[in-house]
Amino acid sequence: MMIERLREYVGAETPTGDAAALNAFADRLTTRYAELGGAVRRIPAPTGDHLVADFPGRGPQASAAPLLFLTHHDTVWPIGQLRDVMPWREADGIIHGPGVFDMKGGLVVLESALEEVADRDHRPLRVVVVADEEIGSPSARALVTAEAAGVYAAFGFEPPHPNGDLKTSRWGSTRVRIEVTGREAHAALDPGNGVSAIDELVDQLVAVRRVVAGHDHVLCNVGTITGGGRTNVVPGSAAAEIGFRFVDPSTEESVLAAVAALEPVRDAQLKVRVLSNRPAWQPSAASDELLAKVVAAGRSVGQEIGGAAASGAADTNLTGWLGIPTLDGLGPVGKGAHAVHEQVVAATLTERADLVAAIVTSL
């Protein structure tokens, strides 16, 4: 049943930014969560609706602080990836396809766990499904922060470490856009009156490298560059989007302040703006204590679970940064996130659902 549902979800492609596709998928989740006893709210956003589903508690802890489950339904893959590049395939216990690992497998694990605990005693449960997680959740940060208020703990359903260990902290992640406005002119007849936005952008990217080189434990990736139009026209505009990763808040603050303070080196206009930000979630005693409880829950269902820091960012950065006991990586074991060999180990779908059910009923 879990594999069939995963195939259904992978077949409904949901690239970030395609609001129609994401909202159609949100319709499926709304129906499914309602069937499982949840009260579902839809929060409109330009990139697609976010969902919040609240499941009542049962038994002695029916009125206790809830557990928060963080998920997302967007993927990095465009419409047609399934048909043209990454067809669904099952072989030797491995399932291949766009989104199986990041993170439709996690959505299926969560649903199955909710079904398992439907008749058991547990705290209230709150599920948040984000529509633009793959670009840093720019429209969902406030939602995640609001829904995290007063929860007992937060869990993410992103992929785990390769050996199945959960993620106990994450680097911070910030996306920055540098926009340059120069002045167009004929590149041969009047070059002196032109100001090349592309040349200015190149110099600014070199300056960014110097900033990064002055700090330890910073990752910097220039993900896109755009600008210009014709070789006989001095380009009047150019832009780049940069992804930064930071191990701690002080490094993040220092680097971003230096990037924001960049000045033009020629007669051009420069604009630097933050597109999305997830602060560093650092190791904490609260998350360590939560991990110890999860280890015990895992042993109750015959599983040995560990935990380790992670360099990738997700919405759990926000809850961890806020000081809420947080763990991530409850999705199935696999590999190839954001790569054409994306895959999950089929048997771990059931294993992870059993683990989540044990966590829910033991906390």
The C-alpha angle with vertex 233 and arms to 228 and 239, in degrees rounded to 5, equals: 20
Q: Which residue has the tokens 């869990």?
A: 155
The tokens describing 211, both together, are 């900033």
Q: Which amino acid is at 63?
A: S
**Residues 79-101: b if buried by 16+ CB within 10 A, e if exposed:** eebbeeebeeeeeeeebbbbbbb
The tokens describing 207, both together, are 């300056």
Sign of the four-CA dihedral 25, 29, 31, 32: positive
CA gap 170, 248 in Å, rounded? 9
CA gap 250, 176 in Å, rounded? 17
CA gap 244, 173 in Å, rounded? 6
Active site residue 74: yes
Out of 13, 18, 49, 74, pick the active-site residue: 74
Q: Which of 65, 309, 49 is nearest to 167 (CA)?
A: 309
How far, in Å, are 29, 31, 67, 221, 282 from residue 34 at the CA level?
8, 5, 18, 41, 35
CA gap 313, 320 in Å, rounded? 11
CA gap 339, 334 in Å, rounded? 12
Strands (E) in the chain, as ranges, are 39-43, 50-55, 67-72, 89-91, 94-96, 125-130, 153-156, 166-170, 172-181, 218-227, 237-246, 269-278, 307-310, 326-327, 334-335, 343-345
Out of 133, 158, 179, 342, pick the active-site residue: 133
The dihedral region occupied by 160, where left means phi > 0, alpha psi between -120 and 50, and beta the remainder, is beta
Active site residue 354: no
Q: Which residues does the annotation mark as catalytic?
A: 74, 133
